[in-house]
Structure 1
Amino acid sequence: MKIGVIADTHLKRPDAFLRRAVEEHFDGADLILHAGDICTLEVLEAFGRRPFKAVAGNRDDRTVKARLPQRLLIEAEGLRIGLIHGWGAPWGIVGRLQGAFEGADAVVFGHTHRVLNEMENGVLYFNPGSFKGGWIAGGVRSLGILEAGDGIRGRIIRLESR
């Protein structure tokens, strides 16, 4: 199962770069996960008819926060994937997320704008980084792919602004 992962879009509406990235990198994805800081529900239109799950982040407007949960537990290929935005400073975030989803095989999050793709105590902690980029992300824009089946693996994709 191919799962597209994106976080921290920080857009008011889908732009051409987001639409192109979704078409190029999430083609054939069985599911898309958005780990918050979407900003407005209109941004989710970039996914078209593709199935997606999303959570609210700290920078999302009232309509996003009213419609989307703060956390979700998703079953995929017999695996349990926790989806959350995250909170607090970038350092120590994995420690804060431990135990957020009992029995999870993976925890997908955003917030820090920093990529992370690491196993810890049998759990994959996966942050695709920031689609928007910015100084916190070192100017790098990114998203990710999870492959679920016989276990779960993540891959970070750095985006080239065109």
Structure 2
Amino acid sequence: MKGAPFRIGVVSDTHMFSRGAKLPDELLRGLAGVDLLLHAGDFTDPAVVPLLTAIAPLEAVAGNNDGLDIVRRFGYRKVIEAGGKRIGLVHGHDGPGRSTEAKARLAFRDEAVDIVVFGHSHVPHYELADGVLLFNPGSPTDKRWQRQYSYGIIEIGERIAAVHQFYDDKS
């Protein structure tokens, strides 16, 4: 019998603390028990990092609204291995391509990755492109033009499963 899937919580564009004084309760409940947490940039304040590392081990990249302290700590782009898969992590604000999705995908065009996680647009996105999952969790604190706040859960087991989780209240 196979073991439990490797669970990854995925967030981006928290824009703390201008968009919220704390991480939303719904987000904290939904991320409870994840094996790893990915943040695809735009923390905007380094004080968010310990809030996230209290949930699970954190892998992250900086976004276009992050200061040098976050850029130096995380960089703008990385490939991590988790659950036996290779995950490209990027904010998605820079590089070739017209859309955020295209910029994210092209950031890893020369590398073998199974998943590309990105942010920047605040728009939840799920797409399979040439066998690679492109996944944007949206934002748990700054929904902009979206109806709800969101984050993602990726489970890696015999296959990769990714879902968006949505909620209305960010308190």
Which band: TM-score by shorter chain?
0.7 to 0.9
Residue 138 of structure 2, aligned match among 129, 132, 140 = 129
Cα distance in structure 1, aligned partners of 2:30 and 2:73: 26
Give me the TM-score of the superposition, normalised by structure 2. Answer: 0.84
- 2:3 aligned residue: none
Alignment correspondent of 1:153: 161
Change over 3 Å in CA distance of 1:9–1:141 after alignment to 2: same
CA contact (8 A) 1:79 1:151 kept: no
2:32 aligned with 1:27 = yes
Deviates more, 1:147-156 or 1:26-35: 147-156
Higher mean Cα deviation, 91-100 or 147-156? 91-100
SS for the counterpart of 2:103 is helix
Structure 1 residue corresponding to 2:16, chosen from 11, 14, 36: 11
Q: Which amino acid aligns with 1:95?
A: A
SS across alignment from 2:34: coil
C-alpha contact 1:143 1:159 (8 A) present in aligned 2: no
1:143 alignment partner in structure 2:
151
Q: Which residue of 2 aligns with 1:70?
A: 76
Opposite residue 82 of structure 2, the aligned amino acid is: A
Q: CA deviation at 1:19?
A: 5.2
Query: Which amino acid counterpart does residue 159 of structure 2 have in structure 1?
Result: G
In structure 2, distance between residues paired with 1:49 and 1:11: 16
1:59 corresponds to which residue?
65
> What amino acid does structure 2 have at the position aligned with 1:129?
G
The 3-state SS of whatever aligns with 2:47 is: helix
Name the Cα RMSD after superposition: 2.1
Give 5+ residue unaligned stretches, structure 1.
Answer: none
Change (3 A) 1:49 1:96: closer
TM (norm. structure 1) is 0.88
Which residue identity does 1:97 align to in structure 2? A
The AA in structure 1 aligned to 2:168 is E
Runs of 5+ consecutive residues of structure 2 not aligned to the other structure: 1-5
Contact 1:7 1:35 in 2 (8 A): yes
Aligned residues: 159
- After superposition, what is the alpha-carbon deviation per residue over 1:13-57, rounded to whole angstroms, capped at 9, x for unaligned? 8734x1523430111100000000001111122221621111000
Partners of 1:133 and 1:142 within 8 A in 2: no
Structure 2 residue 107 is matched with structure 1 residue 97: no
Q: Which digits, 9 at most, give the CA deviation of each residue in 1:54-102, with x for residues without a partner?
A: 10000012211222111111111211011100116x9623222334221
